[in-house]
Amino acid sequence: MHTPTNDLEQDIARNYRFNAIVNILDGTFFWFGASFIAARTILPLYVSNLTDSKLAIGLLSVIASTGWLFPQLFTANLVQRLPRKKVMVVNVGLFTERLPVLLMVPAALLATRFPLPALVLFFVLFAWHTLGAGAVAVSWQDMLAKIIPLERRGKFFGITNFGGPATGVLGAAAAAWLLDHYEFPYGYVLCFACAALLIFISWFFLALTREPAQPPQERPLSQKEFWHQLPRLLRSDRNFRRYLLSQSVTTLGGMSLGFLTVYAVQRWQLPEGQAGAFTASMLIAQALSNLLFGVLADRRGHKLVLELGTLLIALAIGLASIAPAPAWFHLVFALVGSSTAAFFMSGMMIVFEFSTPEVRPTYIGLSNTLIGTVSALAPLIGGWLAELEGYQALFIVSCVIELAGLTLLHCLVQEPRRRRIEYELRIHPLSQA
């Protein structure tokens, strides 16, 4: 007789190849579309055409990072109750995450005659898109953790995050051509249209996912009970608590990332299309790094990958502060791309390994919302510092904070995969023989 757990595992194994293919295609087309609206290169330039406020550019970085991270804790308890996580990420995500990208197309047309309303509407739609993505992010991550076995996650995300940025290089090249050949705002209108088309194609593949139902093993918690148990969880898991501290410091150190393109373009009076070229450099490095980091994560764990990612981002920011020519910024963005590969893959998957499947959504939501709170403050602090002391001071302070975060991660956090193996050996010594 098969137990429910064995039936679930067999169902997952039977559909693994199909699910891996459709979700790799989802990630590939999503990244392809996102390259036309890159939040660290193209969108800051779009905003700078509508206003010269550095705080507005900082606000863009706030929304880009915080919008995806902050809502996750508020949806974790709901996701924890769902037998199928796909229902939320597909049905709800169509309207909360994908639709506002399409609406950016007509909104950008206002920029020729009504720049202020166009700016306000852009921020509303971009916030809708990022917050909407955050609202379904826990369900998406939990669905992937459920249908992709632990020993294959690094390879899966490595391939997915290679295919996406690799096609994103084409998108970045196309975006550069559009921005160079069409006057403002029509180049951006076409970029937004390409992004919307590709992101809707990615949704089609996501909707094909075959996810087996898995009813909750424990009694569902009320929202009041859910919030009351969070402090106890943090107190009881010291390693997870230290991980959150290190990532909060690292996130604060990223306060300067949203200003790199604007700094380079303004300092050397570069054309608008240079944003697309920088995006291409970033995505090429990101694609290649994903293949390396995927294998490394499966063999050595995600903590090492995160340490490398933090070191790379510190090097990128430090190089930006001393770069003598604009060509150096291709290397800066290549380092940013490599670090993005590390953070997007291992920053997400390491949280899976701190927890058991029953409370995984809680760990995902708690981690991302706490770090998202820091993300909300970091670009605003960066914008304030840039206004007060200039970009050079911002880059130096940011680099020092990144190195502090790296030190905390390396010295205080133990690789959760090794801790879990040691625990299983203590509890079930004979089964490991």
Q: Specify the CATH number for the domain of residue 45.
A: 1.20.1250.20
The answer to whether residue 216 is domain-embedded is no
Contacts of 107 (CB under 8 A, 6+ apart): 118, 121, 122, 125
The answer to whether residue 214 is domain-embedded is no
The DSSP-derived string for 94-110 is: IIIIIHHHHHHHHHHGG
Q: Structural domain of residue 254, as residue ranges?
A: 4-207+225-428
The answer to whether residue 29 is domain-embedded is yes
The answer to whether residue 220 is domain-embedded is no
Contact 130, 64 (CB under 8 A): yes
Residue 275 DSSP code: H
Helix axes 186-207, 153-181, angle to 10 degrees: 160
The answer to whether residue 218 is domain-embedded is no
Contact 297, 306 (CB under 8 A): no
The answer to whether residue 37 is domain-embedded is yes
Q: Which residue has the tokens 């990612």?
A: 309
The answer to whether residue 212 is domain-embedded is no
pLDDT in tens, the chain (433 residues): 444 557 778 888 888 899 999 999 998 899 899 989 988 778 988 998 898 887 788 788 778 877 887 888 888 888 888 888 899 999 999 999 999 999 999 999 998 889 899 999 999 999 999 999 989 988 998 898 888 887 777 778 778 777 777 787 788 889 889 988 899 999 999 999 999 999 999 999 999 999 888 776 666 777 788 888 888 888 899 999 999 999 999 999 999 988 898 899 888 988 877 877 887 888 889 888 888 888 888 888 899 999 999 999 999 999 999 999 999 999 999 999 999 889 988 888 898 888 877 788 889 888 888 888 888 788 889 988 988 998 999 999 999 999 999 999 999 999 987 655 444 444 344 334 3
Angle at 337 between CA 265 and CA 411, to 5 degrees: 120
Structural domains in the chain (count):
1
Q: Is the dihedral of CA 302, 303, 308, 311 positive or negative?
A: positive
User: Six-digit token pair at 200?
Assistant: 């809707």
What number of helices (H) and strands (E) belong to the chain? Answer: 19, 0
The answer to whether residue 281 is domain-embedded is yes
Provide the 3-class DSSP secondary structure of residue 221.
coil
Contact 269, 421 (CB under 8 A): no
Report the residue count for the chain.
Answer: 433
Nearest residue to 272 via CA among 262, 280, 282 = 262
Residue 148 DSSP code: S
Contact 275, 172 (CB under 8 A): no
